Chain A
C-alpha cells in the first residue's frame, strides 16, 4: 500500500479547479472558500509527505500502477518535497491576498480567476513532482497556459502583454519539446532516473548535446534568464494585482527548479563530464543576469517594473548559486530560491496595496506615503533588507552560502556579480524608500488615500514579511536539511 499523499498534492487543487465553474454557476460566494480550503489541504499533505520523505527517504509514486521506466512516475525527494511545501504555502498566501483585490479590478471574473489559479497551482505542483521528462513538459504547458490567460484577464494593455508572453513562452516550450525528442532518440527513455543510468553510453552523441542545448534554452526563456527576459516586465506591469504575486513568486521559480532538476538529476552535470563546461556556461548566464537585471531595475520609474527587473536579477543570482558546482553553493541557491518566492510575493503584495489605496504606481506618486501606511512601509523595509541581504533576514544567508560556494569554486567573477548586484539592489530600494518618506509632492495627487486596505491583504503581507525573518532565523536548520537530503548525488 503506497501512500497516496504524493498524488493528492497535485490532485486536490486540480479537482477543485474542475469543480469551480459548476460551483460558481450555483453559488458564486463559495468559490473563495473552496479554493482556500483546497490549497490549505494541499499544504497539509505537502507537509506530511515532505516529513515522511525527510525521515524515510524518497517516495516514488507510479501513476496507474505502471512501474517506471514504462509508466509515468511522480518522485518526491528532499528537493521536490521542500519545493512543494514552499509552493503550497506561498500560493495559499497569494490566494488569501487575491480575493479582496478582485472586485475592483476584475469585476465579475471571480469564477475564471479561481479556476485558473487553482489549475496553475496544481500544474506547478506537478512540475515539482514529475519524474518524467515529457510529463514535465505537459505540466509546464498547463501552468503556462493558465498564466497567459491570467495575465490577460483584466483586458486592455494586459492583452498585448499576455500575447507577447504567449509567443515567447510557446517558443520556450517548443524548444523544450524538441530537446525531449532528441533525448528520446538518443537513449530511448523519458524516465529521469533511467535516462541518467543510460547517459554514460550516450554522453558523446551529438543528439544528447543538441537536446540539452534546446532544453536548457527553452527553460531559460521560461525562467526569464537575461537575454530571454523580454516578456516578463510587461506581463507583470499590466497583469491584475491579484495575479502578479502568484506569477512573480512561482512561475519563474518553478521553471528554475525544472532547470536544476534536469541539469543535475537528468544530465548528471557534475559527476559526468561533458565536452564543454556546462555548469560554467550556465553560471555565466546567471552572472550576466544578476548584474543586468539589477541595473535595469535601477533605471525604472514604475514600481512594478522595478520589482519585476529585481526578480530577473534574483533569477540570475539563484542560477549562480545552483551551478557553483559544490554543495555549499547548491544549498545556498536552493535556499535562496525558496526565499525569493516569498520576497517576490511580498513585493507585489506591497505594490498591490499601494495601488489599491491610492492608485499610485509611479515612483513620483509615492511621496509621503510612508507615514500614512505604517504597515505597508514596515513590510517594504523588511523585504528590502532581505533583497539587499542584511543579516536577520533570509536573503542574507542565501547570499552568504552562494558567495562561499562561488569562492570554493574559485569563480571570482560570480562573486563580483553577487556583490555588485547587491549594491545595485541597495540603490534601487534607497530610491523607493527615499520617495516614500520624503517630501510631499507638489501636486496633491497622492494625498487622497482610499480607506484602509482589507484586513486579508494586510494579514497575508504581514505573514510573508514575518516569514522572511523566520527564514533568516532558522536558516542554518533549513540549509542543513537541504545539505542532508536535497543535494544531487555526486556533487563534491
Chain B
C-alpha cells in the first residue's frame, strides 16, 4: 500500500487538502478562509483528474467509424465531465462566498473574525 502513498500525485493531493482544511479552520481572516476553501476544492479536482489519467491515450472522439471500436485507445471522458462540473460548482460557491464577504465588510468594516465579533457586542 505504501507505493500508492508515495506516488507524487497522491502526495500532492493529500498535502493540498490538509493545508486547505487547516487554513479554513485556523485562520481568522475571512478571505484566507476562502483561500483555504478553494485549496480544498482544487485538491479534490486534482484527485479526480489523477484517477482519470491514462498515459498513451487520445481524446475520446472516434478515430474512424469503420471497424470495431477499441476502447483502450481513448481516455475515459467521464472524470473530465465530473471535473468540469466540479469546477463550475466551486466557482459558484466562491462567488456566493465573496458576495457575503463584501456584504460583511460593508456592514462591519473589517474582515477579521475577532474584530467583527467585537463589533457585534
Contacts and interface: CB of A to CB of B under 8 A. Distances in A.
B51 A181 contact: yes
Interface stretch (A156-164, A278-286, A312-320, A322-330): A156-164
B96 interface: yes
Interface in A180-206: 180-181, 184-185, 190, 206
A476 to B, nearest CB: 43
B47 interface: yes
Given A145-B93, A174-B40, A184-B79, A162 B100 contact: yes
A155 interface: yes
A166 B89 contact: no
A228 interface: no
Contacts of B96: 145, 148-149, 166
A152 B85 CA distance: 25
Contacts of B48: 181
B21 interface: yes
A167 B24 contact: yes
A177 B82 CA distance: 10
A157 B93 CA distance: 20
A180 B47 CA distance: 11
Contact of B44 (A134, A145, A160, A177): A177
B120 interface: yes
Contacts of A148: 96-97, 100
Contacts of A159: 100, 103-104, 107
B120 A167 contact: no
Interface string A445-466: 0000000000000000000000
Contact of B30 (A134, A149, A163, A170): A163
A152 B82 contact: no
B89 to A, nearest CB: 5
Interface in B69-115: 78-79, 82, 85-86, 89, 92-93, 96-97, 99-101, 103-104, 107
Contacts of B1: 206
Interface in A128-168: 134, 137-138, 141, 145, 148-149, 152, 155-157, 159-160, 162-163, 166-167
Contact of A181 (B24, B47, B93, B101): B47
A134 B82 contact: yes
A171 interface: yes
Contacts of B100: 148, 152, 159, 162-163, 166
Interface residues of B, number: 32
Nearest to A180: B82
Contacts of A185: 51
A166 B82 contact: no
Contact of A184 (B37, B51, B99): B51
Chain A contact surface mostly: helix
A141 B120 contact: no
A163 B44 contact: no
Nearest to B17: A178
A163 B92 contact: no
Given A170-B37, A178-B47, A155 B120 contact: no
B33 A181 contact: no
B112 to A, nearest CB: 12
A163 B86 contact: no
A167 B21 CA distance: 10
A184 B47 CA distance: 12
A159 to B, nearest CB: 5
Nearest to B33: A167
Contacts of B86: 177
A157 B100 CA distance: 12
A310 B88 CA distance: 36
A222 to B, nearest CB: 14
A163 B104 contact: yes
Contacts of B92: 141, 145
A376 B15 CA distance: 54
A315 to B, nearest CB: 23
B120 A157 contact: yes
Given A138-B85, A171-B24, A160 B51 contact: no
B107 A156 contact: yes
Given A167-B33, A170-B37, A181 B21 contact: no
Contacts of A177: 44, 86
28 contacts: A138-B85, A138-B89, A141-B93, A145-B96, A148-B97, A155-B103, A155-B107, A159-B103, A160-B117, A160-B120, A163-B30, A163-B100, A163-B101, A163-B104, A167-B33, A170-B37, A170-B40, A170-B93, A170-B97, A171-B21, A173-B93, A174-B41, A177-B86, A178-B17, A181-B47, A181-B48, A181-B51, A181-B82
Given A148-B100, A166-B96, 20 more contacts: A134-B85, A141-B92, A149-B96, A152-B100, A159-B107, A160-B116, A163-B101, A163-B104, A166-B97, A170-B37, A170-B40, A170-B93, A171-B24, A173-B89, A174-B41, A177-B86, A178-B17, A178-B47, A181-B47, A185-B51
Interface of A: 134, 137-138, 141, 145, 148-149, 152, 155-157, 159-160, 162-163, 166-167, 170-171, 173-174, 177-178, 180-181, 184-185, 190, 206
Interface of B: 1, 17, 21, 24, 30, 33, 37, 40-41, 44, 47-48, 51, 78-79, 82, 85-86, 89, 92-93, 96-97, 99-101, 103-104, 107, 116-117, 120
4 nearest A-B pairs in the assembled complex, by CB-CB distance: A185-B51, A141-B89, A159-B104, A174-B40
